[in-house]
Structure 1
Amino acid sequence: MPKTVLIAEDDKDIVELLTLYLSGSGYEVLSAPDGEQALELLRSHEVDVALVDIMMPRMNGYDFIKAARKTSDVPIVIVSARSMPADKIVGLDAGADGYITKPFDPLEVTAYIRAMIRRREQGRESAGTAGEDDAPATDVQAAGGAGEAAAPTSPDAITCGELVFDPHRLTLSKRGETVPLTAAELKIMAAFMAAPGRVLSKGRLYAAVNGEPAIGGASSVMVHISNIRAKLEDDPLRPRYIKTVRGLGYRLDG
């Protein structure tokens, strides 16, 4: 049975673009131009992932998320042109599970949705297994968080504490669970994982993403770092892995 994605977005062009890509990937798509209609669809349909804009008429994205969280645990991803860290913090605190900034690559959004659905299904499977066995978690389960052992990695995989980066599969995992990252975010994490504990400047991270020196564009690195923290950190407001070194850049701690 195909998975269902709910799009809460008042920009018709964006809805058409996402619908085209998601339908082509085998998803059923529901859409609503405002938060109130989106909430009605969420209550009346089985939804697997919701993509939500912040600025919408009648009910904005923040209010939609707060209302949805009263009755649903569906993964919610904010898709918004608002890229300030404060906007992301408010969205995540409201109950969102991820944040994608516009403009975006539809293929990256599709990959993000696949990862969200996979993590949700793994969580349900592990919860069912725990209920049937009614036994304490094993060491592997405790380390995996979601009760799943880490997937096999290539011999060249890089480990830093609980993080594993596989350069062949181009995946980053934390406690055995894949962290859904965009292409740019993966490039930044590859740079971090290659030099754990070392301070990397914004210019160096910009070059890792774009392949060229930063000329007035290094500020975009801050947005990528904020997005990575939102997906990687248990508490993005108090990051454990990616630390800011004032005046110098960022450092990855294991």
Structure 2
Amino acid sequence: MTEEKRRRTILIVDDEPAIRELLKLQLAGEGYEVVMAEDARGAARLVREAKPDLMIVDAHMPYVSGLDFVSAVIVDSSMPWVPVIFITGRSELRSDAEALGSACLVKPFLAARLTELVERVLRSQERLYAAAGIGHSAELRKALGAA
């Protein structure tokens, strides 16, 4: 567990409590701070309040699907951009996730695969910030909606 991992916050959005808890156990065990929401409304609030570094979103939730929620976050300029990993039981949704610029894990998946994908997405995000000159400046990240 590195110090950097401990500073990273991951938002889990899934309507199934058991799935949320399993994901939380895995990621908290890897040193991440984990916040959770059971639906899109709670998730939207947490995106603003917790300012997660990554969201893991169930593609199929009642009322507002994960895909629709992420689409809304992308177009809402008041919300910061946050990378997303979708989880789904349907492999055909992989292309929909990729169209939104997101990664996708198809259930069932191994815990090691989840951890590997989370680390890869977060490394990619850091490379993008570094290339853009955002780095770790809290003021600059906040101004660009990346805080």
Q: Which residue of 2 aligns with 1:34?
A: 39
Letter in 1 for 2:71: K
Select the residue among 75, 79, 82 that pairs with 1:74: 82
Find the residue that maps to 2:11 and give its secondary structure: strand
Residue identity over aligned pairs, in percent, reads 33
Query: Aligned residue for 1:107?
Result: 112
- Relative distance call for 1:113 and 1:102 in structure 2 (3 A) is same
| Mapped pair 1:92 → 2:75 | no
Q: Report the TM-score when normalising by structure 2.
A: 0.79
Shift of 1:96: 4.1
Q: Does 1:118 align with 2:123?
A: yes
Assess if the C-alpha contact under 8 Å between 1:77 and 1:96 holds in 2. no
Q: Which is bigger in relative contact order (C-alpha 8 A, separation at least 6)?
A: 2
More helix by share: 2
Distance 1:99 1:81 in 2: 10
**Structure 2: which amino acid aligns with 1:83?**
S
Q: Which runs of at least 4 in structure 1 moved beyond 4 Å after TM superposition? A: none
Secondary structure of the corresponding residue to residue 91 of structure 2: coil
Counting matched residue pairs gives 126
**SS in structure 1 of the partner of residue 80 of structure 2:** coil
CA RMSD of aligned residues (A): 1.5
Aligned residue type for 1:48: D
Q: 1:18 and 1:97, CA in 2 relative to 1: closer, same or farther beyond 3 A?
A: same
Give the Cα–Cα distance (whole angstroms) in 1 for the partners of residues 19 and 101 of structure 2: 20
Q: Report how far residue 39 of structure 1 moved.
A: 1.5
Within 5 A, what are the aligned runs for 1:181-196? none
Distance (Å, rounded) in 1 between the aligned partners of 2:62 and 2:89: 16
Q: Which runs of 5+ in 2 are unaligned?
A: 1-5, 135-147
Q: Counterpart amino acid of 1:78?
A: F
Unaligned 5+ runs, structure 1: 130-254
